[in-house]
A = this chain, B = another copy of it.
Amino acid sequence: MWRDLLPLGRSASSGGYFRQPWTAPEREARAWFVEQAEARGLAVERDGLGNLVAWWGTGRTDAVLTGSHLDSVLDGGAYDGPLGVVSALAAVDVLRGRGFEPRRPVAVGAFVEEEGSRFGLACLGSRLLTGATSWETARVLRDREGLALEDALADEGLDGSRGTWLDGVATFVELHVEQGRDLVDRDEAVGVASAIWPHGRYRFDFAGEANHAGTTRMEDRRDPMLSYAMTALAANKQARVSGQRATFGRVDVRPNGTNAVPSHVTAWLDARAESSTALEQLLADVERQAQERAGRDGTSLTVTAESVSPEVAFDPALAARIAEPHRWPVIPTMAGHDAGVLSAAGVPTAMLFVRNPTGVSHSPDEHAETADCLAGVTALADTLALLSGGEQ
């Protein structure tokens, strides 16, 4: 399965992946999923968004759903998302090899636009599927080229309607490569998630005045680049001091010419904190410093919350039931996942993590050892067997 997936959307220069949703590489990845599921005799359902699910067993109620996503961040790694999908299909193979027959149906799913790399809203597919985000809100979201989600979907022959299969799902288990080094520190190949930190994405729009870079005296400028630069440094310092996370990883400059003072700088703050209160405080501290600097620079600043997710505490009884027989550690994560969206929507949800030797993620350097990936498949197969209640 990795051999099929590895070339899709891979950049020859960086070695990273560009699998933005509803583009050719991600479309191929979804076609690959359908092919793999059908080759296993699983019944595939698609919705009008591009979400996919494949059923093992008859009946569509009280099911155990597993899987993850196939899209990537810009220049991302090979494992984030696909490891969960590949492991889910491999776990079905393992269980069948054991002669296992599930009593409750097992479903393998792939959610679209988990990373929010194209339309800015993470977990878009699962948010629409659960109703956490309405179609009215989502359809007018625009990508970097200004194309509305509704039109991007129409170009793919998709009508925006959401699947109804979550109605029949009793439990969701998502396997994911770890995005930190907790499992390395604990010397474990597999762990179970306790919770996801609160997470916000905020757009900072700094507006100044375009001008000539040579002739305009420094003191006559209203340069939004300076306001932005101070804000990026302030966000880093604030997060470092408080033990939280704050990142400016995306910046758009207008007109972005070497010899022009910019008129606008738009930058996105990704912030995560141990509690919603701490997240609000972090944003408030960064915004206050940004506004003060904008005042000194003669620029203006508007901050827009593009998405804010509260803390997700996964079902503790479920996590314990999965972890205890194997003594897997139960650890928190700072990364958002479709599992968080389903959990918030009331679906009892668990996550399995596979060790990441460097902790590097959202990067071409993201990696997991084959032995750990295989341990993950076995762990997922055991978990599915436990939850789908069949005989083993």
Contact = CB atoms under 8 A, between A and B. Distances in A.
Interface of A: 14, 16, 73-76, 115-117, 120, 122, 179-180, 197, 199, 201, 209-220, 223, 225-226, 228-230, 232-233, 236, 239-240, 245-251, 253-263, 268, 270, 272, 333-336, 359-365
B251 A335 contact: no
Contacts of A245: 213-218
A357 to B, nearest CB: 14
Contacts of A232: 225-226, 229
Contacts of A236: 218, 223, 226
Contact of A240 (B219, B254, B359): B219
In this complex, the member of A16, A73, A223 whose beta carbon has the largest number of chain B beta carbons within 10 angstroms is A73
Given A215-B333, A260-B73, A260-B362, A250 B249 contact: no
Given A225-B249, A250-B253, A362-B210, A263 B75 contact: yes
Contacts of A75: 210, 254-255, 257, 260, 263
Nearest to A242: B218
B336 A214 contact: yes
27 contacts: A14-B254, A16-B210, A74-B255, A76-B260, A116-B259, A117-B257, A122-B259, A179-B215, A199-B214, A209-B363, A210-B362, A212-B361, A212-B362, A213-B272, A214-B245, A214-B270, A214-B333, A214-B335, A216-B361, A218-B240, A225-B249, A226-B233, A249-B253, A249-B261, A251-B251, A257-B362, A261-B362
Which 10 pairs show the lowest CB-CB distances between chains A and B?
Answer: A210-B363, A75-B255, A74-B255, A179-B215, A212-B361, A213-B247, A229-B229, A214-B334, A229-B232, A213-B270
A355 B180 CA distance: 60
A261 B115 CA distance: 14
A134 B301 CA distance: 45
Given A73-B260, A247-B260, A250-B256, 6 more contacts: A75-B254, A76-B255, A209-B360, A212-B361, A217-B245, A249-B255
Query: How many copies are assembled?
Result: 2
Contacts of A361: 211-212, 215-216
A117 B254 CA distance: 13
Contacts of A213: 245, 247, 249, 270, 272, 362
Contacts of A225: 232, 248-249, 251
A194 to B, nearest CB: 14
Given A120-B258, A218-B239, A256-B74, A365 B210 contact: yes
A228 B232 CA distance: 10
A258 B251 CA distance: 9
Contacts of A333: 214-215
A112 B356 CA distance: 53
